[in-house]
């Protein structure tokens, strides 16, 4: 196999961190090459340099034997390098064809482009209608827009950043079939992921990054997932453990919860019903954008629902606001850390006050008790090993993992009867993720009813007693987590169902 | 090339230093402006910033004027700063000021010529209520229909100006005024007059109210849950809702307080320094207060200082007009420039300036 | 009162004249907002354009130079806003207000020597026999060039946004600046160009006031026209053709109330004078009450600062 892209000694430093430290590797033509590493290992910076979004401090690249120094993404695309972003670079208010045209150098007239979109999307098994508004598409369909945008330019190298994080297991299979076909046609694929099984089933080679450096390179098919994990993390990980105590009475009961979408592209919750017992962890899976945020809002009190649709030990609480719910020990930690769970520019003390004022008694007749708030923040920092110089630092100065530990810790320490968390370990490094999962298990141990909404199925299987899945605002009936197969989980998440619909709608 | 790099935490030093830097830059740019107008720049800057306070010839008149002018500016700006912090943009303080003045003066004139201790307090109350009610229009439209409060509050200024014209030419016209527009002079009606409290200081009730507002706002923002919620809502509206803040209540509170304070400022002005309701008694304080609020970095103590500084430019501007023939409009441009520089150098508190190779990103 | 003195043909023709300044400012602001920038300094740019145009027209004796100068003046002022908000990332609301306050002061300063002067007259465009068509000729074909320029701008902006690549990129930047940046578009540069375009349009609108509609220079003569232009953009749900509708509606109200004042209607003059502002508020309320649509048509990045951090 001939080398397509060679990367030699790429270095990129940001204030305080060396994101990439003399990174070297090469990708052969038609190869599916995995870039494996934890959050913060430097994978994103590396591919941004390859795609021309970031200029390296030193080092050089060659593409098909010629020096390759893309000054901007346009140059990268002209050289045959295309990229599908993890957080899609799409425009909700524009239609599919317009979105695709924006990613092309010289797009044909709209009508012609629409026809080509149809052809290419059919050819690769990714049906897509060119005149639908992107804001109304599911996460999987949005990804297709990105992929087709790339394919229309005949790329030699396709970079995919965590592509399966938004797909159901069935949709992952469809995607992999497309990628294998592309690879067979001679297109190289740089596949970024931290999901080991996927890499083992798809990739020909893997380059492992840790703390900005290449630590190893291997054929992932010859390694076990455990071996890969050890390469990636650099240490053996201890899986969270739980004693598995007895479950108590039903604490939280949701029955026939229906909530219209608050925003034009939001999801409507439809007839959601479940119950959680004291000491139980209910895992709620599903692909992004199927009502996760909305469900959390309905449970945290940010969105008002019918009073009887949410009950705490028989008491109707559906119409209570967040402050009322905190008073009765129904707490929540939303997905978006900066700007929702925490105010980025405020200090940790102020952020402790944000949800802790009521239960921790941080205010008396409206007047704030700053020393008490500070003490509470310090307690969270200490108990949950949050790495920060002190509670006076702004939330935005913390790393994702540390801020997430703070956000979860802030709720756990308030002794909730019910705790609802959304994406508790999203974008968090492995050790922090393990600590957070352990803390949720420990909390359930003390008799709290815990609802974990997550898109990470491995995580849910690891900590949940029962599992349910959100699909287009509906919740599947919860089933015991033990013994569920990936196939069954995928079907609960809607299988590849919405894709079929897209196909028929052509 | 120069590039900007976001700081992990806002710089405390620059937060305090930027207003000072902005004033210095404005003096330089203002000097250039005056030079362009054919005036001696050093003399002009000295006349505006130094002479009103320290020149023996003018200080006796100017120093009290400083408080007379700063009082309403501070009072209005304190109210506005609460809303601005919460991301609620009341830019129609000028209208609330006018309506407050009309309501308050109306109460006073209704009692004429009776003399009683309660008339002035009633007028203050009516002034505050008038401004509050005028500010409730954008507040209710915003909470009920999500109508943009910036545009509504501003458009209502023009409506208020028409009401003012109608009042000073009609209903409130002095029946003994020989047909001239304008109301009775409230300064000559002791029960309704907002008099100087300490001779030679310029301190009238409006100045006192301004100082009280500074203290209350400080306590509110730093010690009270409501102040915390205001700051939170401005920085992260979503986090505020998560924390249990009711955004609509905040809109009503912030617009209400700023309207009431602006209305009171109007009443203090019309019953004091201006003396009567006339078609142009308002001097644009409602707009200048916006500059004061930002120049004071929306901080009560900062607003106190900024109000005094801005009052100085008014008085110094008049002096420069009188002494050097600098046009009055130049001072207005000068004030606008100050706000530009402040907003421009503000970047230093949140970003570090780096020299070096520019990134493509 | 004598309503028969109001001739509907004259009324329609004059409402076009009354609406043109606002139409120009509003279509410029629409482009700015479509790029994701909220410039509240329209009033300041209009009044600056009004005095720049007036001064240059008086000095050169040529209204054409006046209009050009007004566009340059408006664009130059808007670029102060552009640099502050796009490069120095200042708050757009505050900076827009500063622009208005500064523009009012600056224009008064420049305008010192021009109070009471008469500008050179701008001729109406000679459209030959077209303007002799009864009724239609008087309404449609008897205006000055700027009226037709303003109409052409509406069509141009509509077609440009809908059918051209530049328009698509502009919409994309306003919708999601992060994504546009990731695709390699120069967000800041595109926005600066949009801001300058908006400034030039507002300046032209201002000069139309001082050179044709009034025509003379008085301090603060825009009297809220810039704010009304901002309101019209919201009313129009960011659609060019509806800007035309909104501006002409407003022009109609203005002209009608002036005619009613002249006809001696038994309503206080002040009530008639405040009616354009009240009607603008009313229209804003009606538009914003329809939540879903208002949220859908507003550019998603409107008013947000952009800093390329990656």
pLDDT, one tens digit per residue, over C98-135 is 999 999 999 998 888 898 888 888 777 777 777 777 77
B351 at C interface, C-beta within 8 A: yes
Token pair for C309:
């951090």
pLDDT in tens, B3-30: 777 777 777 788 888 888 999 999 999 8
Residue C169: what pLDDT?
A: 95
A3-14 β-sheet, strand order: A17-28, A3-14, A58-63, A66-67
Residue B249: what pLDDT?
A: 95
**Which chain A residues are within 8 Å of C190, Cβ to Cβ?**
none
Chain C residues contacting A, CB < 8 Å? Answer: 165, 168-169, 171-172, 175-176, 178-180, 182-185, 292, 295-296, 299-300, 310
Q: What is the 3-state secondary structure (H, E, C) of B142-155?
A: HHHHCCCHHHHHHH
In total, chain C counts a number of residues equal to 310
Burial class (CB in 10 A: 0-12, 13-18, 19+), A132: middle
| Cis peptide bond prior to B113, omega within 30° of 0 | yes
Looking at the fold, whether B145 and B289 belong to one and the same domain comes out as yes
Looking at the fold, whether B347 and B246 belong to one and the same domain comes out as no
Give the domain extent around B116.
59-326
Other beta carbons within 10 angstroms of residue B357's beta carbon come to: 9
Contact criterion met (CB below 8 Å) for A376 and A352: yes
Residue C308: what pLDDT?
A: 67
Q: Give the CATH number of the domain where residue B86 resides.
A: 1.10.3470.10
- Domains parsed from chain A with CATH numbers: 3-233 (3.40.50.300), 251-504 (3.40.50.300)
Q: Is A3 helix (H, G, I), strand (E, B) or coil?
A: strand
Looking at the fold, whether B89 and B63 belong to one and the same domain comes out as yes
Q: Give mean pLDDT, residues B211-216.
A: 96
- What ranges do the domains of chain C cover? 3-127+139-297
- Cβ separation B158–C291 shorter than 8 A: no
Quote the number of domains for chain B: 2
CA distance linking residue A285 with residue A358, whole number of Å: 31
CA distance linking residue C189 with residue A474, whole number of Å: 44
CA distance linking residue B93 with residue B148, whole number of Å: 16
Residue C21: what pLDDT?
A: 95
**Which chain B residues are within 8 Å of C89, Cβ to Cβ?**
4, 347, 350-351
User: CATH classification of C3-127+139-297, choosing from 1.10.3470, 3.40.50, 1.10.8, 1.10.150?
Assistant: 1.10.3470
CA distance linking residue B341 with residue C159, whole number of Å: 38
Contact map slice: C 156-185 vs B, CB within 8 A: 181
Number of H helices, E strands in chain A: 17, 23
pLDDT band, residue C310 (cuts 50/70/90)? very low
Contact criterion met (CB below 8 Å) for A492 and A469: yes
Could you tell me the CA-to-CA distances from A152 to A91, A92, B115, C177 in Å, in that order? Answer: 18, 21, 86, 23
Contact criterion met (CB below 8 Å) for A303 and A316: no
A81-84 and A269-277 beta bridge pairing: unpaired
CA distance linking residue A165 with residue A198, whole number of Å: 11
Looking at the fold, whether B320 and B336 belong to one and the same domain comes out as no
**Mutate which: C98, C104, C234, vs B, most B CBs within 10 A:** C98
Contact criterion met (CB below 8 Å) for A405 and A432: yes
pLDDT in tens, B84-109: 999 999 999 999 999 999 999 999 99
φ, ψ dihedrals at A36, nearest 5° = -110, 135
Residue C254: what pLDDT?
A: 87
Burial A95-122 (b: 16+ CB within 10 A, else e): bbbbbbbbbbeebeebeebbebbbebbe
Looking at the fold, whether B101 and B114 belong to one and the same domain comes out as yes
Does residue B289 lie within any of the structural domains? yes
Contact criterion met (CB below 8 Å) for C246 and C157: no
Residue B352: what pLDDT?
A: 82
B1 has a pLDDT exceeding 70 = no
**Which chain B residues are within 8 Å of C105, Cβ to Cβ?**
329-336
Looking at the fold, whether B93 and B222 belong to one and the same domain comes out as yes
Looking at the fold, whether B5 and B77 belong to one and the same domain comes out as no
φ, ψ dihedrals at B183, nearest 5° = -85, 180
The DSSP letter of residue C211 is I
According to DSSP H, which parts of A235-387 are helical? 292-300, 322-327, 348-356, 370-383
B228 at A interface, C-beta within 8 A: yes
Could you tell me the CA-to-CA distances from A387 to A384, A398, A407, B267 in Å, in that order? Answer: 9, 8, 13, 54
C271 at B interface, C-beta within 8 A: yes
According to DSSP H, which parts of chain B are helical? 12-36, 41-49, 51-54, 56-86, 93-111, 119-145, 149-169, 205-223, 225-235, 237-242, 247-270, 285-295, 300-324, 328-345, 347-350
Strands annotated E in A72-204: 81-84, 157-161, 188-193
**Which chain C residues are within 8 Å of B141, Cβ to Cβ?**
281, 284-285
**Shortest CA distance to C205 belongs to which of C275, C84, C103?**
C103
Contact criterion met (CB below 8 Å) for A265 and A93: no
Residue B25: what pLDDT?
A: 93
Residue A1: what pLDDT?
A: 54
Q: Can you give the C-alpha Rg of chain A in angstroms? A: 24
CA distance linking residue B269 with residue B98, whole number of Å: 10
Close Cβ partners of B324 (under 8 Å, ≥ 6 residues apart): B39, B40, B43, B44, B47
pLDDT in tens, C2-29: 566 677 788 888 888 899 999 999 999 9
**Mutate which: C35, C170, C179, vs A, most A CBs within 10 A:** C179
The list of chain A residues with pLDDT below 70 reads 1, 235-245, 495-506
Close Cβ partners of A65 (under 8 Å, ≥ 6 residues apart): none
- What are residue B2's DSSP bridge partners? B355
Q: Give mean pLDDT, residues B238-244.
A: 94
pLDDT in tens, B169-204: 888 888 887 777 888 888 888 888 888 888 778 888
**Shortest CA distance to A454 belongs to which of A399, A404, A397?**
A404
- What are residue A14's DSSP bridge partners? A17
According to DSSP H, which parts of A301-413 are helical? 322-327, 348-356, 370-383, 400-412
**Which chain C residues are within 8 Å of B310, Cβ to Cβ?**
none
Phi/psi region, residue A483 (left: phi>0; alpha: psi -120 to 50; beta: rest), is left
B190 at A interface, C-beta within 8 A: no
Does residue B53 lie within any of the structural domains? no
- What are residue A450's DSSP bridge partners? A281, A419
Residue B278: what pLDDT?
A: 85
Does residue B351 lie within any of the structural domains? yes
Least confident of B208-212, C183-187, C239-243: C183-187
CA distance linking residue A19 with residue A13, whole number of Å: 5
Looking at the fold, whether B184 and B283 belong to one and the same domain comes out as yes
The DSSP letter of residue A347 is B
Looking at the fold, whether B246 and B213 belong to one and the same domain comes out as yes
Looking at the fold, whether B249 and B106 belong to one and the same domain comes out as yes
**Shortest CA distance to C19 belongs to which of C224, C213, C251?**
C251
φ, ψ dihedrals at A333, nearest 5° = -135, 105
Question: Cα distance from A367 to chain C (closest Cα, Å)?
Answer: 30
C1 has a pLDDT exceeding 80 = no
Contact criterion met (CB below 8 Å) for C267 and C60: no
CA neighbours within 13 Å on the CB side: how many for B83?
33
Looking at the fold, whether B112 and B235 belong to one and the same domain comes out as yes
**Which chain B residues are within 8 Å of A350, Cβ to Cβ?**
228, 232
Other beta carbons within 10 angstroms of residue A224's beta carbon come to: 11
**Which chain A residues are within 8 Å of B361, Cβ to Cβ?**
48, 53-55
The DSSP letter of residue B173 is S
CA distance linking residue C102 with residue C83, whole number of Å: 15
Residue in chain C closest to B81 (alpha carbons) equals C94
Strands annotated E in C147-290: none
Question: Cα distance from C283 to chain B (closest Cα, Å)?
Answer: 10
φ, ψ dihedrals at A94, nearest 5° = -105, 160
Average pLDDT, chain B: 89
């Amino acid at each position: 196999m001939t080398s397509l892209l060679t990367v030699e000694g790429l270095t990129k430093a940001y204030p305080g961190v060396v994101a990439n430290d003399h990174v070297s590797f090469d990708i052969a033509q038609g190869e599916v090459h995995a870039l494996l590493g934890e959050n913060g290992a430097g994978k994103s910076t590396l591919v941004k340099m390859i795609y021309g979004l970031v200029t390296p401090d030193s080092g050089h690249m060659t593409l098909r034997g010629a020096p390759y120094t893309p000054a901007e993404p346009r140059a990268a695309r002209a050289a045959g390098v295309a990229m599908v972003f993890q957080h899609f670079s799409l425009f909700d208010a524009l239609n599919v064809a317009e979105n695709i045209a924006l990613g092309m150098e010289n797009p044909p007239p709209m009508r012609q482009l629409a026809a080509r979109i149809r052809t290419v999307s059919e050819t690769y098994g990714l049906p897509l209608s060119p005149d639908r508004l992107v804001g109304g598409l599911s996460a999987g369909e949005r990804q297709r827009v990105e992929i087709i945008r790339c394919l229309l330019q005949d790329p030699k190298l396709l970079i995919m950043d965590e592509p399966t994080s938004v797909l159901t297991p069935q949709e992952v299979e469809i995607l992999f079939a497309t990628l294998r076909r592309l690879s067979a046609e001679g297109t190289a694929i740089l596949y970024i992921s931290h999901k080991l099984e996927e890499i083992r089933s798809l990739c020909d080679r893997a380059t492992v990054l840790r703390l900005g450096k290449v630590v190893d390179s291997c054929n992932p098919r010859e390694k076990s997932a455990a071996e890969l994990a050890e390469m990636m993390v650099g240490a053996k990980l201890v899986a969270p453990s739980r004693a598995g105590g007895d479950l108590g009475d039903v604490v939280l009961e949701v029955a026939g919860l229906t909530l219209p979408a608050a925003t034009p592209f939001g999801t409507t919750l439809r007839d959601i019903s479940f119950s959680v017992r004291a000491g139980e962890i209910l895992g709620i899976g599903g692909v992004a954008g199927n009502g996760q945020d909305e469900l959390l809002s309905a449970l945290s009190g940010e969105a008002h629902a019918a009073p009887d649709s949410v009950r705490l030990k028989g008491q109707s609480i559906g119409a209570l606001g967040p402050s009322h719910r905190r008073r009765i020990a129904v707490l929540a930690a939303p997905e978006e850390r900066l700007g929702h769970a925490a105010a980025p520019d405020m200090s940790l003390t102020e952020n402790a006050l944000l949800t802790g004022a009521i239960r921790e008694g941080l205010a008396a007749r409206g007047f704030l008790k700053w020393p008490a708030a500070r003490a509470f923040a310090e307690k969270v920092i200490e108990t949950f090993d949050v790495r920060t110089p002190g509670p006076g630092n702004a939330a935005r100065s913390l790393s994702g993992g540390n801020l997430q530990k703070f956000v979860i810790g802030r709720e756990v320490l308030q002794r909730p009867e019910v705790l609802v968390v959304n994406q508790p370990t999203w974008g968090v490094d492995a050790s922090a993720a393990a600590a957070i999962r352990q803390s949720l298990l420990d909390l359930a141990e003390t008799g709290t009813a815990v609802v974990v909404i997550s898109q990470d199925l491995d995580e849910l299987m690891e900590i949940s007693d029962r599992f349910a899945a959100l699909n287009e605002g509906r919740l599947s009936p919860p089933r015991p987590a033990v013994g569920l197969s990936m196939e069954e989980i995928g079907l609960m998440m809607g299988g590849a169902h919405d894709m079929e619909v897209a196909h028929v709608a052509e | 090339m120069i590039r900007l790099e976001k700081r992990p935490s806002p710089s405390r030093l620059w937060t305090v230093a930027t207003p000072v830097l902005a004033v210095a830059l404005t003096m330089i740019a203002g000097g250039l402006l005056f030079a362009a107008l054919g005036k001696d720049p050093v003399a002009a800057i000295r006349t505006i910033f130094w002479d009103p306070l320290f020149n023996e010839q003018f200080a006796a008149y100017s120093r009290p004027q400083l408080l007379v002018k700063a009082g309403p500016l501070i009072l209005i700006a304190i109210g506005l700063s609460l809303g601005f912090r919460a991301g609620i943009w009341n830019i129609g303080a000028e209208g609330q000021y006018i309506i407050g003045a009309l309501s308050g003066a109306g109460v006073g004139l209704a009692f004429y010529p009776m003399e009683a201790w309660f008339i002035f307090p009633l007028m203050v109350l009516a002034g505050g209520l008038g401004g509050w009610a005028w500010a409730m229009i954008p507040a209710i439209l915003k909470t009920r229909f999500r109508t943009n409060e910036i545009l509504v509050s501003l458009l209502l200024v023009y409506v208020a100006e028409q009401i003012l014209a109608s009042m000073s030419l009609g209903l409130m016209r002095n029946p003994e005024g020989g047909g001239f527009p304008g109301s009775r002079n409230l300064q000559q009606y002791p029960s309704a007059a907002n008099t100087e409290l300490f001779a030679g200081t310029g301190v009238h009730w409006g100045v006192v109210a301004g100082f009280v507002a500074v203290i209350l706002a400080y306590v509110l923002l730093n010690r009270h849950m409501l102040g915390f919620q205001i700051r939170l809502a401005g920085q992260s509206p979503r986090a505020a809702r998560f924390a249990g803040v009711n955004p609509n209540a905040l809109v009503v509170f912030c617009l209400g307080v700023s309207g009431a304070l602006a209305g009171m400022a109007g009443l203090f002005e019309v019953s004091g320094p201006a003396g009567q309701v006339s078609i142009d008694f308002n001097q644009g304080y409602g707009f200048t207060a916006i500059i004061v609020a930002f120049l004071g970095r929306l901080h009560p103590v900062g607003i106190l200082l900024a109000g005094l500084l801005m009052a100085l430019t008014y008085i110094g501007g008049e002096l420069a007009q009188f002494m050097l023939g600098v046009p009055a409009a130049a001072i207005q441009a000068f004030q606008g420039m100050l706000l530009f520089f402040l907003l421009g150098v503000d970047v230093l508190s949140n970003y570090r300036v780096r020299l070096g190779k520019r990134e493509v990103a | 009162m004598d309503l028969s003195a109001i001739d509907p043909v004259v009324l329609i023709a004059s409402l076009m004249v009354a609406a043109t300044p606002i139409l120009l400012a509003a279509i410029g602001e629409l482009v700015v907002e479509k790029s994701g920038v909220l410039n509240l300094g329209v009033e300041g740019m209009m009044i600056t354009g009004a005095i720049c145009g007036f001064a240059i027209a008086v000095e050169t004796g040529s209204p054409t130079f006046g209009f050009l100068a007004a566009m340059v003046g408006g664009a130059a002022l808007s670029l102060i806003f552009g640099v502050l908000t796009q490069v120095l990332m200042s708050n757009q609301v505050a900076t827009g207000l500063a622009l208005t306050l500064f523009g009012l002061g600056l224009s008064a300063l420049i305008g010192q020597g021009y109070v009471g002067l008469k500008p050179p007259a701008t001729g109406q465009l000679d459209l030959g026999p077209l303007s002799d068509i009864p009724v239609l000729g008087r309404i449609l074909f008897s205006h000055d060039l700027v009226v037709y320029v303003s109409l052409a701008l509406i069509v141009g902006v509509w077609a440009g946004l809908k059918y051209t690549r530049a328009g698509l990129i502009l919409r994309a930047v306003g919708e999601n600046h992060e994504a546009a940046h990731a695709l390699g578009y120069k967000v800041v540069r595109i926005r600066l160009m949009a801001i300058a375009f908006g400034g030039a349009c507002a300046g032209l609108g201002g000069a139309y006031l001082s050179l044709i509609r009034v025509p003379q220079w008085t301090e603060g003569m825009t009297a809220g026209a810039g704010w009304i232009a901002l309101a019209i953009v919201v009313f129009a749900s960011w659609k060019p053709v509806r800007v035309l509708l909104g501006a002409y509606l407003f022009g109609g109200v203005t002209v009608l109330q002036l005619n009613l004042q002249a006809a001696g209607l038994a309503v206080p003059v002040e009530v008639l004078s405040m009616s354009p502002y009240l009607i603008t508020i009313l229209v804003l309320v009606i538009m914003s009450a329809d939540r879903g649509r208002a949220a859908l048509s507003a550019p998603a990045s409107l008013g947000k600062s952009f800093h390329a951090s990656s």
